[in-house]
Chain A
Amino acid sequence: MAKTEEKTVPPVTLVDPIELSELDRDFREEIHSMPNGEELGACFACSTCTAACPIANSWDYKPHQLVRMILLGMRKEVLASDEIWLCLTCFECQERCPQNVRVTDILFDCKNLAAEEGRIPPNVAELGKELVEQGQLYVITADWEREDLGLEPSLPGLQTEEVRNMLKKSRTGRMLGEDD
């Protein structure tokens, strides 16, 4: 009968199956050992973080899924995801986590690992470049506005050299090919 024939259709799955051989078991330990990763293993995927996230509805991977993916060792998928860069860093997820998992901080750690592999959205890389080149993100251009308000035309005490040197020697400089 027609009804039994339908059973040959593959069952509907909610998520694509994971290829076990592609998992990176060290990823979990890598994040766990970072300064904010201590409570990582306490996550039981209750989704409170996702409920708290103002933009989770536009994410393919929800915050609780990203944490689960880290625990499973899905290094490639997590570090290549747009979500880690879309994170608002509003700390709502982290604040509400009943298990004290530092979700936002962990996403910062993921961004650092992605950056180390050269994966940085162009506009964010541009900001890094500005920091290395000028030691600040915003430079005063309208000094007359400041003077009209009785302020010094340039920022008193500003010294960018040391910050630029520090960043040149650091990952920011290395990534941008600005290191000596």
Chain B
Amino acid sequence: MPEYNLYAGCSVPANYPNYEASMLRVADSFDMELKYMEGVACCGSPNLRAIDYEGWLKVNARTLAIADKNGNDIVTPCNGCFGSLKDVYYHLRHNEDYVEMVNAELASEGLEFTGDAKPRHFVEALYTDIGIDRIKENITNPLDGVGIAIHYGCHLLRPKDVTEFRPEILKDLVAVTGAEVIEYPLWKQCCGATVLPVDEPLAIRLARDKLKSMKDAGAQFATVVCPACGNQLDLQQLDLKNTYGEEYNIPILHYPQILGLAMGLSEDEIGLYLNRVPAEPILEHVSK
């Protein structure tokens, strides 16, 4: 029974409890023990890195050091947290001076960054530690080949030397549910979430580019593994109606929601009713 430090971040618990609940239920089916980390707060998101590199380094080093106490890897459902933790981990591993600086700060709490516990995205841990074969054995209600587009999210994929995430991971994880992965031209492009506080019209345009590219390629649904990307692609569909007069009607599902359905979880258990663009149409594609 693999044990992990669960770093939920702030956006998932506050805005997407359906993501959190479906992740916990799926993990439970595979005996992945996700234990909420004690004494942690926010990663600060790229916004903190932008204004305060040192502060960002310290708060994330602190989270890493808390996990170092038991040495279990950190698992997070959020690309923002994943990006911050991975990036800080990378910077600390490449710069002794920073390790000294953060450890001097953390000593008062009896903490030390050692680098034993690695930060990982939930989907990567699922893929690597559980594996496609075992997941396949648990698929009781496969999807009927319905077209699902994957939005990976920038901070899951890049910088490649920092995140070490291979796109095939998520592709395989979606395909194992029985769905068809829809390839679309803008699959690598940003959803625009980070620029939302600075330039809203630009952020909306980027969400539109993304959704249009998915729709044109024939996607009926899309899946995300990040609350910020989810927010952009799900909620912005309402703004797109107002600003562009366009309706996309692409339900955006968090990956564990899709896997959960294929594993026989009910729509209530995965909190489908909380998705903004009504996601119930996915139920028609789940074999009983």
B282 in contact (CB, < 8 A): no
Indicate whether A146 sits within 8 Å of B17 (C-beta atoms), given known contacts A112-B51, A171-B54.
Answer: yes
| Contact, CB under 8 Å: B160 / A95 | yes
Instruction: Assess the A163–B41 pair: CB atoms within 8 A.
Output: yes
Q: Contacting B53 at CB < 8 Å: which of A112, A151, A155? A: A112
Contact with B along A56-97 (1 / 0, CB 8 A): 001000000000000000000000000001111111101100
Stretch in B166-174, B177-185, B189-197 with 4+ CB within 8 Å of A: B189-197
Question: Bound complex: CA of A141 vs CA of B10, how far in Å?
Answer: 12
The count of chain B contact residues (Cβ–Cβ below 8 Å) is: 60
Report the bound CA distance from A146 to B94 in whole Å. 39
CB of B95 within 8 A of CB of A35, answer yes
- List the B side residues contacting A142 at CB < 8 Å: 14, 17
Q: Which one of A120, A139, A141, A163 contacts B59 once the chains associate, using CB atoms below 8 Å?
A: A163
Q: Name, among B24, B47, B154, the residue most crowded by chain A CB atoms within 10 Å (CB to CB).
A: B47
Contact A166 B158 (CB under 8 A): no
Report the nearest A residue to B163, measured CB to CB: A91
Is A135's CB under 8 angstroms from B42's CB?
A: yes
Given contacts A92-B190, A157-B38, contact A137 B45 (CB under 8 A): yes
Across-interface contacts of A157 in B (CB, < 8 A):
36-40
- What is the bound-complex CA distance between A91 and B209, given in angstroms? 18
- Which of A127, A150, A160 meets B21, CB within 8 Å? A150
Q: Give the docked Cα–Cα distance between A104 and B155 (Å).
A: 12
Check if B112 is an interface residue, CB within 8 A of chain A.
no
Q: Is B254 an interface residue (CB 8 A)?
A: no
- Tell me the chain A residues, 36-71 only, with Cβ under 8 Å from chain B: 54-55, 58
**Interface bin, chain A:** 35 or more
- Asked if residues A90 and B198 are in contact (CB atoms below 8 Å), the reply is no
Known: A170-B52, A175-B51. A159 touches B40 (CB 8 A): yes
Cα of A128 to Cα of B45 in the assembled complex, Å: 10
Contacts of A149 in B (CB 8 A): 17-18, 20-21, 269, 271
Total CB contacts across the A-B interface at under 8 A: 183
Residues of B within 8 A of A128 (CB): 47-48, 51-52
A151 and B17 contacting across the interface, CB-CB below 8 Å: yes
- Bitwise interface map of B from 13 to 46 toward A, beta carbon under 8 Å scored 1, else 0: 1110110110010000000000011111110111
- Does B125 reach chain A (CB closer than 8 Å)? no
B197 contact set on A, CB distance < 8 A: 121, 123-124, 126-127
- Contact status B10-A124, CB under 8 Å: no
26 residue pairs A–B, Cβ–Cβ below 8 Å: A35-B98, A88-B190, A89-B46, A89-B155, A92-B154, A92-B188, A94-B159, A108-B50, A112-B51, A121-B198, A123-B198, A124-B47, A127-B45, A136-B10, A137-B11, A138-B14, A138-B15, A142-B14, A149-B18, A158-B40, A160-B42, A163-B59, A166-B58, A170-B52, A170-B55, A172-B48
Known contacts A121-B198, A155-B8; 8 additional CB pairs below 8 A are A55-B206, A88-B194, A91-B157, A102-B159, A123-B198, A145-B17, A166-B62, A166-B105
